[in-house]
Homo-oligomer: A and B are copies of this chain.
Amino acid sequence: MNEKTLDSAAAGGPAAELVTAGLLVIGDEILSGRTKDKNIGYIAEYLTALGIDLEEVRVVPDVEAEIVAALNALRHRYTYVFTTGGIGPTHDDITADAVAKAFGVPLDVDPRAVDLIAERVGRDGLNAARLRMARIPRGADLVDNPVSKAPGFWIGNVIVMAGIPTVMQAMLDSVAPKLATGVKLSSETVRANLREGDIGTELGQVAKQHPDVMIGSYPFTDEAGHPNTNLVVRGRDPHKLAAAKAAVEAMLVAVRATLATPRE
């Protein structure tokens, strides 16, 4: 179940408390497997902790039309869109061009960005490649980059960040205090000590009886090498969350009792 399907009562307040996000990962190197993405999981966890629900991720190549299309699909749908990658100084860094195109605004060399980059490389180091990193879509705010200076930017509901994880993480810290956030989704994990296939039907019944929480089932191999299952209950209302967790625990006790009874 998706957060969107929760009614506002379950969310603990008005619907405006639901803040959503999409993530657009940009780069041929992720799609070729040369670089293993480390940003999706980090951003997912970070936004969840803030009370922002990441609802969709897309990974697209360094192709302007693909970036523009994905950006337009996501930005009209979610409260925020975060992008990673493609804001460096080389010819394959075309994210700023694509964002400017999506918003229909000019892409100018921004004196604020030039000053920041000069802090790192000096005025002498401001060659054409580095000035490329200072091109910011008109009307955007800069996103501070305490790691390597060249800034990200924020235009409309789109926040453009670097692809290098340390830089991306610093940029996310820079924007986090300015983001609207919703009521945090709390979660409780219950270890089943049963195989997923032993509890699937009963768990589905519990899920149906507790429509205002989300219940996920995640099989894993435990330390004894046995197939085991973690059941994760998530919700915004602490009472409903506690009730659903208790129902899951009661279900597990009942299933264990059944399995302990020899079959006829």
A61 to chain B: closest residue by CB: B2
Contacts of A219 in B (CB 8 A): 88, 164
Contact check, B58 vs A32: say whether CB atoms are below 8 A apart: no
Contacts of A30 in B (CB 8 A): 40-41, 44, 57
Contact check, B2 vs A62: say whether CB atoms are below 8 A apart: yes
Q: Oligomeric state, in number of copies?
A: 2
Contact check, A1 vs B58: say whether CB atoms are below 8 A apart: no
Say whether A31 faces chain B, with CB atoms less than 8 Å apart: yes
How many chain A residues touch B (CB < 8 A): the figure is 75
Contacts of A5 in B (CB 8 A): 63
Q: What's the minimum C-beta distance from A261 to chain B, rounded to whole angstroms? A: 13
The chain A residues found within 8 Å of chain B, CB to CB, are: 1-2, 4-5, 25, 28-37, 40-48, 53-63, 66, 88-93, 121, 124-125, 127-130, 132-133, 148, 164, 185, 187, 196-201, 203-204, 207-208, 214-219, 227, 232, 234, 263
28 CB-based A-B contacts, threshold 8 Å: A1-B92, A2-B63, A30-B41, A31-B53, A32-B48, A32-B54, A33-B46, A33-B47, A34-B45, A34-B232, A37-B40, A40-B59, A55-B61, A57-B57, A57-B59, A62-B216, A88-B196, A90-B199, A90-B204, A91-B204, A91-B215, A127-B197, A128-B200, A129-B201, A129-B204, A130-B197, A130-B200, A148-B227
